[in-house]
Amino acid sequence: MRCGVVRLSIPVSLLAACVGACASPAPPAESSIGLVGRVTREGHYDRPHATRTLPIAIRFAQRGSCVRCELIEMPRTGKVTTVLVRDAQGREWTKTGDASEFRPSPPEDARFLAVASAALSDGEHDAVLAFRHPRLGDVSDSATWSGAEDERELRIVWQRPTDSAEFVVHRPKEPGAGTDVSFEVPPTERTEATAADTGATAAVFRTIADGVHEITLPAADTRSLAIEFADHVVLCEASLDNEAGTRLLAAIDEHLPGKPVRYVAFGHYHPHYTGGLRPVMARGATVVSPPLGAAFAREIASRPFLSPPDELAASGRAPAIETFVGERTFRDGTNELVLVDIGEDSHHTVEYVVFWLPRQRILFQGDLGWYGVGAGIRAGGERARGMLAAIDARKLPVETLVQGWPATGRSSLPLVELRALLAK
């Protein structure tokens, strides 16, 4: 049965009422459906708007007011990669990967469950959920049906904090998506929210060398550097979203008073490095980037943060963006910083800026160097190799590498140690 578009609004826990209002007669006590198709993801590839498409299966079941949705990212293995549940109390729970416990769903998972359950409960419905995304602005997640009666397709648009995904799925021609799922969340298998879940962790400001200050945002899982000059700061890496960008500025205001952020640069376009640009642009800082990144910064400035307006929209300011090719140097009597685009040597993105501090012999880079913690640390493979090749080709006398992501584990490593790890 079909009945128009279900327009959903937060709080998600009220969704059962929205669906009930649309569906007539009342939703059945039990239903289940299996869907197969593909998912196209965006956000972490070699250039802005590059995507990758992979097969996916979705299983959905409803029993009374409870729903359960399973994502199977490698359908051939049949392994369930994500389980989303709404329990009888209207609370949403998530279990991902090999985790044994359900945790309270983050807002993005609750949104997915909202549009999926509105689209799949008691027949076919279209569902739209408008919301304020902390990085993308005023956007919508949605689930919409299309196609002839025997070839119906469901398209789900899902915008998560760190990437976007579009699912296009349909009922399998032959049964096999295994719709028989149970969805209770046994109390012994769930853990309540922690401070980290709610993002309630403060910025950590630490001076790591003369004129070089590290700002770590644990909730965003990012590390930025504030490079201090005589009368201003250059911010390197802008973190994940508007809130993170605002936290970076607050930390700089507190610890480096009287030194405005005059320039901001990011290593590559991925969300953890560019998502917080808008509040920095709102302060009048100039974004400095190679050409593709400069175009992406312009796009970020035009994102729809209108209801209510964020700082940049309210300022009415046109973004200040400066483009460079190769290298860009900042220098005064107190400090020096060189932005170096190592490009495809990064084996990660087509433009990739590293931050060279010749006076401190520190090179700061986003996510090329190493992974892991303690003795389990390992070099980042071809990315790390490519970065070292770029350093060697330019004869940069680097002593210490500092890394932006992940924010946990070692934040810095002597260059010789990375070379040794790569030689193993």
Contacts with Zn ion by CB under 5 A lie at 270, 367
* Residue 240: CB minimum distance to Zn ion, A: 12
* Residue 296: CB minimum distance to Zn ion, A: 13
Q: What is the DSSP letter of 318?
A: P
Three-state SS at 173: coil
Residue 349 or 400 with smaller CB distance to Zn ion: 349
Residue 270 or 278 with smaller CB distance to Zn ion: 270
The torsion of the CA quartet 386, 388, 393, 395, rounded to 10 degrees, works out to: 160
* Residue 266: CB minimum distance to Zn ion, A: 11
CB atoms within 10 A of CB 157: 18
- Identity (one letter) of the amino acid at 51? T
Structure tokens at 42: 């965006």
CB atoms within 10 A of CB 148: 7
* Residue 62: CB minimum distance to Zn ion, A: 38
* Residue 272: CB minimum distance to Zn ion, A: 7
Closest residue by beta carbon to Zn ion: 270
Residue 87 or 367 with smaller CB distance to Zn ion: 367
Residue 141 or 367 with smaller CB distance to Zn ion: 367
* Residue 237: CB minimum distance to Zn ion, A: 11
Residue 95 or 270 with smaller CB distance to Zn ion: 270
Cβ pair 289, 324 in contact under 8 A: yes
* Residue 217: CB minimum distance to Zn ion, A: 16
Of 64, 63, 59, give the one whose Cα is nearest residue 81: 59
Residue 169 or 220 with smaller CB distance to Zn ion: 220
Residue 117 or 274 with smaller CB distance to Zn ion: 274
CA distance 352 to 356: 13
For the range 74-79, what are the long-range contacts, defined as Cβ-Cβ under 8 Å and sequence gap of 24 or more?
A: 75/36, 78/178
Of 221, 218, 214, 223, give the one whose Cα is nearest residue 200: 218
* Residue 271: CB minimum distance to Zn ion, A: 9
At 223, phi and psi to the nearest 5? -130, 130
Cβ pair 234, 225 in contact under 8 A: no
* Residue 267: CB minimum distance to Zn ion, A: 8
Residue 38 or 378 with smaller CB distance to Zn ion: 378
* Residue 360: CB minimum distance to Zn ion, A: 24
Residue 177 or 225 with smaller CB distance to Zn ion: 225
Cβ pair 221, 406 in contact under 8 A: yes
Residue 68 or 270 with smaller CB distance to Zn ion: 270
Contacts of 181 (CB under 8 A, 6+ apart): 32, 59, 61, 68, 70
Of 210, 332, 201, give the one whose Cα is nearest residue 263: 332
Describe the strand order of the beta sheet including 92-96 as a list of residue ranges: 2-8, 124-133, 137-146, 153-159, 164-170, 30-42, 51-63, 66-72, 82-86, 92-96, 103-104
